Amino acid sequence: MKTNVNLKPYNSFGFDAVAKHFAEINEIQELESLIRSDVFKHEKYLILSGGNNVLFRDDFFDGVVVYINSKGIEILHEDGNEVVVRAQAGEDWPDFVRFCVGKGWHGVENLAHIPGKVGAAPVQNIGAYGMELKDNFLRCEAMDLTTGETKVFTKKECRFGYRESVFKNELKGQYIITSVDFLLKKDAPLNLEYGNIKSYLEQNGIERPSLQQLHDAICAIRDAKLPDVKQIGSAGSFFKNPVIERALFEALQKDSPTMPHYDEPNGKVKVPAGWLIEHSGPSTLRLASGTAGSGTAGATSWKGWRNEHVGVYEKQALVLVHYGGGTGQDIVELAHRIQDSVEEKFGIRISPEVNFV
Ligand code: EPU
């Protein structure tokens, strides 16, 4: 275990935050001994996977940061069209997807290029381009942080929802996911329905894409819309897309007929937070407060808004970015202003999908 470790390389926003203790786990046995150690019993702790979905509000974490870096991918079972694959929690998610696609296994291809590690993927049930992790998830193993015992969680026990699972809610902070099993198919129809996948393929002259071509197309679509975290700090989508009552949606649609929307099974309507943010701005706020925006303080849209250190990505308003030299507090303030202005304009309070530490 190390002390006073700067977490800048371990959070995709790239904020400076120092951890009092830092334990890197390469083998699951190391985790067991850590859990039984005195330091772990007496200090607060934070489980860090890829650090792609966390926001450090303060510059010091007064406890133990546990960084999961265990590697390994193995086939547990292969039968006809099915293959069960186990990936250790510390495997890089995009590498794992690339590996599966390379083998010709279907089931995670639309989740290509999502930064992060395998162990974090079930926690927020990552999703993109019409696919969610839960769709081909079989089970995961997780270690109980009080006893050091391993428990298997079935899909049902994980209680997956839109960017939700039991690990983010009822069992928050109680388990560390150590490995995840996926049930993949050697042959399956490709899901090309979402957004601009089809138009992208058409533009590139691809009529009947292979699994690999779909994977590559999704990587290219994401690259065009989302910042590269190696260059600009961000945590991907900062907010969740809100699900609202149909009556509210119909009322809003009168003033905003172009508002995109997706019907939910329960009769409610999901509205893209990115659109709501783009269609509100600092000028929407009755009382301008907080982060001063140089030059763009009175802007009518948040999209592309920035001050010296932080801003709203110019190609995707759902993504808050850190240009360097800022702090987690700058993002917190900006997020609050965005929430307030969206609420003032549309009567919807959007909530973050990023975990605040
Ligand atoms: N939109 C705007 N302005 C914007 C951004 C989006 O008007 O600045 C509109 C788009 O035109 C489109 C709609 O909002 O009509 C939806 O946009 P998009 O397809 O880009 O998806 P999203 O809802 O903004 C979600 C996920 C992403 C995922 C994409 C693609 C959430 C919170 N985000 O974004 O996930 O990659 O769909 O499937 O559900 C992440 O979680 O970090 C993430 C990037």
Nearest Cα to Cα of residue 172 among 134, 123, 127, 240: 123
Closest residue CA from atom 31 of ligand 1: 240
Torsion angle, alpha carbons of 84, 90, 92, 95, to 10: -40
Question: Residue 304 has what pLDDT?
Answer: 96
pTM for this predicted structure: 0.93
Dist. CA 120–CA 10, nearest whole Å = 14
Closest residue CA from atom 33 of ligand 1: 237
Contact in structure between 16 and 59 (CB atoms under 8 Å): yes
Question: Residue 195 has what pLDDT?
Answer: 82
User: Residue 222 CA: which ligand 1 atom is closest?
Assistant: 36
Question: Residue 283 has what pLDDT?
Answer: 86
Closest residue CA from atom 24 of ligand 1: 274
For ligand 1, the distance from its centroid to the CA atom of residue 274, given in whole angstroms, is 6
Question: Residue 187 has what pLDDT?
Answer: 96
Enumerate residues lining ligand 1, CB below 6 A: 128-129, 194-195, 226, 236-237, 240-241, 260, 272, 274-275, 278, 303, 316-318, 353
Closest residue CA from atom 6 of ligand 1: 274
User: Residue 313 CA: which ligand 1 atom is closest?
Assistant: 8
Question: Residue 67 has what pLDDT?
Answer: 96
Q: Which residues of 4-37 are buried (b: 16+ CB within 10 A; e: fewer)?
A: ebebeebbbbbbebbbbbbbbbeebeebbebbee
pLDDT along the chain (357 residues), means of 10: 96 97 95 93 92 95 96 96 98 98 98 96 96 98 94 98 95 96 98 93 96 98 93 96 96 95 93 97 70 59 96 97 96 97 96 94
Q: What is the number of alpha carbons within 13 Å of residue 34 lying toward its C-beta?
A: 27
Question: Residue 291 has what pLDDT?
Answer: 47
For ligand 1, the distance from its centroid to the CA atom of residue 234, given in whole angstroms, is 15
Which residues are tagged catalytic? 163, 237, 353
Secondary structure letter of residue 328 according to DSSP: H
Question: Residue 354 has what pLDDT?
Answer: 95
Concatenated DSSP letters for 168-193? TTTTTTTEEEEEEEEEEESS------
Question: Residue 292 has what pLDDT?
Answer: 47
User: Residue 128 CA: which ligand 1 atom is closest?
Assistant: 38
Q: 237, 276, 355: which to mutate for ligand 1, most atoms within 8 A of CB?
A: 237
Nearest Cα to Cα of residue 116 among 141, 138, 96: 96
Question: Residue 14 has what pLDDT?
Answer: 97
